[in-house]
Amino acid sequence: MSGTAIEVRDVAKSFEDVRVLAPLSFAIEWGAWSTILGPSGCGKTTLLRILAGLLEPDEGEVFIGADGRDVATAYLPQRDTLLPWRTALDNAILASEIEGSSLREARAEARTLFDHFGLSGFEFAYPSQLSGGMRQRLALIRTFLAHRELLLLDEPLGALDPLTRATLQDWLLDVWGELHKTILLVTHDVEEGLLLSDRILVMSARPATIVHEQPVGLPRPRGRASAELAEGKGSLLGLLLEGR
Amino acid sequence: MNRLTSIAAPLALLLVLLAVWEGSVWLFDVPHYILPAPTRIAVAFVSHFSSLLGHAAVTLAEIVLGLLIGGLGGFALAVAVFYSPILERALYPLIIASQMIPVFAIAPLLIVWMGYGLWPKATVAALIAFFPIVVNASDGLRAPNEETVELLRSLGASRWQLFWKLRLPASLPTVFAGLKVAVTLSVVGATIGEWVGARRGLGYLMLQSNALLRVDLVFAAILMLSGLGLLLFGGLRIIERRVLHWRGVE
Ligand SMILES: Nc1ncnc2c1ncn2[C@@H]1O[C@H](COP(=O)(O)OP(=O)(O)OP(=O)(O)O)[C@@H](O)[C@H]1O
Ligand SMILES: [Mg+2]
């Protein structure tokens, strides 16, 4: 697939008298990894919820589709949403269960992803028995197993230590490369954006607009210590501080 | 505290209390129809054991039936109130007001309406048991956070699926907490039902023995009733551990 995956046209949203999203517009390409950077509380989660169809914008339009048809998205909320009474494997296959598709197939597929994400052996553990990084991986697996073309990830690596975070970033890149998904990632980590994505969008503070868009032209895999990354990081941080 | 002391400590306290009781009865020469000595109660308990067991079986049936009705009814009410704000506004004041009515006041009416059998007692037990279930189930149904609800909705979950896969399992911990309160209350409820009018059951036995000045038998029946309550409570804990297995795995 090619062309536009998401188009947001003059979308605005307020909560009571707080204007969160000023009319803002942007578009995202199929197959690309796009990242939204923005200061805390600027409305990133609100934007993703609108894109996931969970919230109606006050104004403007959202188009999500391919070749004129609508496509559904897979949304990974910012907060931990694993169901504590389900084993890891049963959490992973939640989407298939809700759709009513074959659980046997879903389980088989989940197991290969468990291997891939270093979770094998924990299929029958409960979320409370997993570490923070493992829970995050499980949440990602669950998102992948929803079999949606478009993944909306809200700070999926937010609360992790640097080492786990770096490992998961590499994993995410691998999986993205293999599964050919379109990803819209929300983060406030500039380096993460530069390391992973094809395109970076910068949001301002409330009321938020897109103040900057830039492609990331660096070839993959990108070194975390490379000079280009450091340079890009400096200029993006400057933009974020300005938009605050 | 290790396991041994956690059993030994309350047991030791109990033994001391019993010894004081026994000693006082002998010392002050208290007549047995006022306060029988623990040993006398023990003798009554053993010699009337099969009769006590028969009465206990009746009371147990009333309690279990009452718990089932109160539990299921309470849960159903909590679900209805959860999904219908109108019903909530209409029913909640009534439910709370109903808790101000002493069960003693309606138990005789129930006897008039339902006769002397199992049902009026089970109904009293159910009436007492249902309130903690409603309150706790309501809290439990509201337990899932908004993000989790949205996650399921984004996966296309129907209202029905949201209930079965999210709200129902999320409510179980508090439902069990409510059930544990309900068990103890329903033991009291069934006994009250029996006091008002019965031909069998531990409550009936207490009343009869009291009239015959067999206070030792009253105490034996109380002992049996406590045992019954403990048994029910323990059984519930076992079921709870099974159902809420995931909570104990940390
Ligand atoms: N349901 C809601 N009702 C009222 N206000 C809300 C609601 N959801 C979000 N807000 C407000 O909208 C603003 C943006 O919130 P949002 O969660 O989208 O920010 P964010 O960019 O995701 O922040 P963070 O980086 O900290 O996750 C905040 O001021 C928040 O208080
Ligand atoms: Mg957020």
Say if B120 falls within a structural domain: yes
User: How many domains does chain B contain in total?
Assistant: 1
Residue-wise pLDDT for B121-140, tens only, equals 999 999 999 999 999 999 99
Say if B144 falls within a structural domain: yes
Give the residue from chain B lying closest to A49, CA to CA: B150
Q: What is the dihedral of CA A85, A89, A94, A100, to 10 degrees?
A: -120
Residue-wise pLDDT for A17-60, tens only, equals 899 999 999 999 888 999 999 988 899 999 999 999 999 999 99
Which residues does B162 contact at the CB level (< 8 Å), separation at least 6?
B149, B152, B153
Q: Determine the Cα–Cα distance for residues A206 and A133; give it in Å rounded to an integer.
A: 31
Tell me what the mean pLDDT of segment B37-47 comes to: 94
Kindly indicate whether the ipTM for this predicted assembly is greater than 0.85, answering yes or no. Answer: yes
Say if B142 falls within a structural domain: yes
pLDDT at res. A81: 93
pLDDT at res. A123: 94
Whether omega before A221 lies within 30 degrees of 0, making that bond cis, reads yes
pLDDT at res. A199: 93
**Considering chain B, what is the average pLDDT of its residues?**
91
pLDDT at res. A133: 87
In Å, how far is A52's CA from the nearest CA of chain B?
7
CATH assignment of the domain containing B102 = 1.10.3720.10
Say if B22 falls within a structural domain: no
Check CB contact of B247 with chain A, cutoff 8 Å: yes
Better-scored residue on pLDDT, A69 or A226: A226
pLDDT at res. A66: 64
pLDDT at res. B60: 95
Say if B98 falls within a structural domain: yes
Of A154, A140, A148, A168, the closest CA to residue A73 belongs to: A148
Give the full edge-to-edge strand order of the sheet including A69-70.
A18-29, A4-15, A59-66, A69-70
- Per-residue pLDDT band at A68 (split at 50, 70, 90): low
Type and span of the H or E element at A103: helix A103-116
Say if B32 falls within a structural domain: no
One DSSP character per residue, B141-154 reads: HT-S-HHHHHHHHH
Residue B116 domain boundaries: 44-245
pLDDT at res. A160: 83
Contact (CB, 8 A) for B206 and B142 = no
In chain B, which among 116-155 make CB contacts under 8 A with chain A? 145, 147-148, 150-155
Check pLDDT > 60 for residue A1.
no
- Per-residue pLDDT band at B115 (split at 50, 70, 90): confident
- Per-residue pLDDT band at B77 (split at 50, 70, 90): very high
In ligand 1, the atom with minimum distance to the C-alpha of A43 is 18
Tell me what the mean pLDDT of segment A228-235 comes to: 82
Of A66-75, A80-89, A177-186, which gets the smallest average pLDDT? A66-75
Say if B129 falls within a structural domain: yes
Cα(A164) to ligand 2 centroid in Å equals: 21
Check pLDDT > 60 for residue B250.
no
Q: Is the pTM of this model over 0.80?
A: yes
**Considering chain A, what is the average pLDDT of its residues?**
89
Tell me what the mean pLDDT of segment A115-127 comes to: 91
Q: Please count the residue pairs, one from chain A and one from chain B, whose beta carbons lie less than 8 angstroms apart.
A: 61
Distances (CA, A) of A196 to A165, B111, B137: 12, 75, 45
Contact (CB, 8 A) for A155 and A187 = yes
**Burial classification of residue A135, based on how many CB atoms lie within 10 Å of its CB (0-12 exposed, 13-18 middle, 19 or more buried):** buried
pLDDT at res. B160: 95
Q: Determine the Cα–Cα distance for residues A101 and B156; give it in Å rounded to an integer.
A: 13
- Per-residue pLDDT band at B81 (split at 50, 70, 90): very high
Please give the backbone phi and psi of residue B115, each rounded to the nearest 5 degrees, phi first. 90, -165
- Secondary structure percentages of chain B, helix, strand, coil, to 5: 85, 0, 15
Q: Determine the Cα–Cα distance for residues A26 and A47; give it in Å rounded to an integer.
A: 12
Give the residue from chain A lying closest to B169, CA to CA: A85
Check CB contact of B30 with chain A, cutoff 8 Å: no
Ligand 1, atom 4, lies closest to the CA of A15
Whether omega before A207 lies within 30 degrees of 0, making that bond cis, reads yes
Residue-wise pLDDT for B154-209, tens only, equals 999 999 999 999 999 999 999 999 999 999 999 999 999 998 888 899 999 999 99
Mode of pairing for the β-strands spanning A4-15 and A59-66 = antiparallel
Q: Determine the Cα–Cα distance for residues A49 and A64; give it in Å rounded to an integer.
A: 13
Using an 8 Å CB-CB cutoff, list chain B residues near A101. Answer: none
Structure-block tokens of residue B52: 């006590």
Q: What percent of chain B has pLDDT over 90?
A: 72
Say if B195 falls within a structural domain: yes
Q: What percent of chain B has pLDDT over 70?
A: 99
Pocket test for ligand 1, best of A11, A13, A19, A20 (most atoms within 8 A of CB): A20
